[in-house]
Structure 1
């Protein structure tokens, strides 16, 4: 008999209808809001796709081999995903992350055997990225670099985008994604635009002064090299309060328990549904809410 390995459980996540979150206005306008449940991946987020792609493709090119040490700066989900793939493929993993990110994320990375280096909150992800570069220069390991590695968006071009096109039977009109490393939105946008150039690609980023894990508005010097502004038709800003409120609302009205960046993307999808007619709007539910319990967003 042939049994699947955990690798085979990455991807092919459900695309579900959210009939209540858009309210009566979305119904009146005959709009559909669909969420792609990336929390169903084995390490719990959309980043499982990119992590698997970056490690296995680097292996295939002969850049890395089992037993090597890998380094990555991460705000959480990519780190957890890389820790999982490193464990399944036989690598040592060093992850650098700002000290203010949730305890659940740190513990998840450690559970997979990763070494965690906490960086000052004041330096944000920029400091973590700079330190990772320095560690690589010191010969402590190899950076996969989710921010510049084309294998990140390629994972979504080859899997996430085709799944959305397949499951909507080509009826998608708008795609919404939070923008962090931008790998998801870049890969999906490229695929969907090749199928139908009229599909609108909408990115969600935090308002000035808002801190939403997984979504960033990068300073120009740190803008991910994989990001191509021409692939995004519209960028919407989301406040931290709106994203957190939407996270709670999704849980109690739709039974979808997701993270704050996913809720930010949903907030944008709902806004669109109140402006459009006859639209099929897909957003990425990039992870699960249990990763944020210690933050107080979901009070008991």
Structure 2
């Protein structure tokens, strides 16, 4: 008898309809808002998909082999996902992340056996990325580089996008995603646009001064190489306050315990639903809310 492995549980996440949060105006306009629950992946986020994709592809090309050390700069979710895949495929994992990110993320990485190097919060992800490059140049390991690796968006082109198309029976009209590494929005956009070029792809970015884990507006020099602006029809800004408020509201009114970037994407999807008609709007719930408990976003 053949049994599943933990690897087989990555992907095919639920797509669920919001029932209580959408406004009366959105409902009157005959719009449906659907949440893609990526927190149901085994390491708890949408990043499980590219983590598996990048490691398997690097193995196939002969770039890495079990026992090697992998290095990655991460704001959290990719690091946790890489730590999971490294654990199940026999790699050492070194992760660099800014010191101000939530303790739950660090503890999750450590639970999978990863070594964690904290970088100064003042340097942000840019400093972490530069340090990872320096370590690779010194021979301390191999960077998979989620920001430039085409196997990142490929995971969403072959998985997330087809699942959304399948589970909406091709009815999806709008796709909303937080923009960080941009792998999710790039891969899903490529697939959905091939099925129906009229589908609108909307990216959520933080307002000036807002710091939302998982959503970034990169300086030009650090813009992910996998990003292609032509694949995004519209970029809508969201404030940190609105993202946090919507994360709480998702839990309280819909029973969806999600992280802050998911709250941001939901906020954008809800605003969009008040401006369009007869739409099926899908947004990505990137991860679970329990990853943010120490931040005070969900006060006891």
TM-score, structure 1 as length reference? 1.00
**Separation in 1, partners of 2:221, 2:229:** 15
For the Cα contact (< 8 Å) 1:87–1:112, is it kept in 2? yes
3-state SS of 1:236 partner: strand
Residue-by-residue CA offset, 1:114-169 (whole Å, 9 max, x unaligned): 00000000000000000000000000000000000000000000000000000000
Q: Partner of 1:256 in structure 2?
A: 256
**Separation in 2, partners of 1:81, 1:139:** 23
Structure 1 residues not aligned, in runs of 5+: none
**Separation in 2, partners of 1:167, 1:271:** 23
Q: Partner of 1:19 in structure 2?
A: 19
3-state SS of 1:257 partner: coil
**Separation in 2, partners of 1:208, 1:215:** 12
**Separation in 2, partners of 1:21, 1:202:** 20
Give the drift of 1:19: 1.5
3-state SS of 1:78 partner: helix
Give the drift of 1:20: 1.4
Q: Partner of 2:156 in structure 1?
A: 156
Poorly superposed stretches of 4+, deviation over 3 Å: none
**Separation in 2, partners of 1:100, 1:174:** 34
3-state SS of 1:139 partner: coil
Give the drift of 1:22: 1.0
For the Cα contact (< 8 Å) 1:22–1:270, is it kept in 2? yes
**Separation in 2, partners of 1:191, 1:252:** 33
In the alignment of these two chains, the number of paired residues is 300
Q: Partner of 1:112 in structure 2?
A: 112
**Separation in 2, partners of 1:33, 1:20:** 11
Q: Partner of 2:228 in structure 1?
A: 228
**Separation in 1, partners of 2:88, 2:22:** 40
Residue-by-residue CA offset, 1:48-69 (whole Å, 9 max, x unaligned): 0000000011001110000000
For the Cα contact (< 8 Å) 1:19–1:32, is it kept in 2? no
Q: Partner of 1:195 in structure 2?
A: 195
**Separation in 1, partners of 2:184, 2:115:** 26
Structure 2 residues not aligned, in runs of 5+: none
Give the drift of 1:234: 0.1
**Separation in 1, partners of 2:99, 2:25:** 41
**Separation in 1, partners of 2:249, 2:141:** 42
Residue-by-residue CA offset, 1:39-88 (whole Å, 9 max, x unaligned): 00000000000000000110011100000000000000000000000000
Give the drift of 1:23: 2.2
**Separation in 2, partners of 1:159, 1:38:** 12
Q: Partner of 1:93 in structure 2?
A: 93
For the Cα contact (< 8 Å) 1:66–1:89, is it kept in 2? yes
Q: Partner of 1:59 in structure 2?
A: 59
Q: RMSD of aligned C-alpha atoms?
A: 0.4
Q: Partner of 1:181 in structure 2?
A: 181
1:1-300 → structure 2 map (5 Å cutoff): 1-300=1-300
**Separation in 1, partners of 2:175, 2:103:** 31
TM-score, structure 2 as length reference? 1.00
Give the drift of 1:195: 0.1
For the Cα contact (< 8 Å) 1:39–1:45, is it kept in 2? yes
Give the drift of 1:2: 1.0
